[in-house]
Amino acid sequence: MKFIAGNWKMNGTCDALKTMAEALVNVQTENRIILCVPFTMLGCVKPNGFAIGAQDVSAHDHGAFTGEISAGMLSAIGAQYVIVGHSERRQYHNETNEVVRSKAVTTIKAGLTPIICVGETMDEKQSGKTMEIIESGVRESVPSDITGDVIVAYEPRWAIGAGLTPTTDEITAAHTLIADTLKSMGRAGTPILYGASVKANNAAEIMSIANVDGVLVGGASLKPDDFIPIITSVK
């Protein structure tokens, strides 16, 4: 069983989600399918054969935080997962590992599973800091002093939406480091997803790499014709 998660980012409509949901009903798979959609679309469909998730959450439980959405609110509308610390949140909203960690904590306390993203920029890669950024990302963003499931996603920031992917050796090294780091934090067995430019033609190969428990898909998760072949490319 692999996790096949879609991140719709700021795309789609309720109609598009209904179309996707209708298409997913007929897909025979043992994989765990998750669709992380914009807040306004969370209540659009009753998930059948897939789980629904959000793409961000407030670090606060309730109160005077205009414009924010709490983990409890997400739970109430049926979301089971939340992406936290996506590179676009880190880049455009200055989210640090510390902020990401606090969002992950509120998510876990509300009974949802955070999908915690880590990954290096092109600058960091070129200056040889990939492993350092990944390890500190995991150590500082993943809560280790609270029980409750988490998922970690390795998303090399330079490869997102760029049609680029790291080499098999690079993905292997990153995922091995993440698995070892999680183990040292008492979180052995945490699923680790790969995300960035996953398509139907590379998904199976990527998911055959050691410690790759699934994928987090951006652009290719928006349409059934692109997303379903990714789901069915692995058992």
Residues that bind ligand 13P (CB under 6 A): 7, 86, 155, 160-161, 195-198, 216-220
Comparing CB distances to ligand 13P, the nearer of 180 and 226 is: 226
DSSP 14-39: HHHHHHHHHHHHT---SSEEEEE--G
Give the SS3 label for residue 36.
Answer: strand
Comparing CB distances to ligand 13P, the nearer of 207 and 217 is: 217
State how far the Cα of 24 lies from the Cα of 39, in Å rounded to an integer: 20
The CB-side HSE value for 229 (13 A sphere, CA atoms) comes to 10
Q: Residues 95, 120, 155, 175: which is the catalytic one?
A: 155
Active site residue 86: yes
Q: What is the CA radius of gyration of the chain?
A: 17
**Cβ neighbour number for residue 159 with a 10 Å cutoff:** 21
* Shortest separation between residue 86's beta carbon and ligand 13P, angstroms: 6
* Shortest separation between residue 159's beta carbon and ligand 13P, angstroms: 7
Q: Is the distance from CB of 159 to CB of 166 less than 8 angstroms?
A: yes
Give the SS3 label for residue 215.
Answer: strand
Comparing CB distances to ligand 13P, the nearer of 59 and 154 is: 154
* Shortest separation between residue 219's beta carbon and ligand 13P, angstroms: 4
Tokens 């719709």, residue? 8
Q: Residues 86, 95, 120, 175: which is the catalytic one?
A: 86
Comparing CB distances to ligand 13P, the nearer of 134 and 160 is: 160
Question: What positions carry a catalytic annotation?
Answer: 86, 155
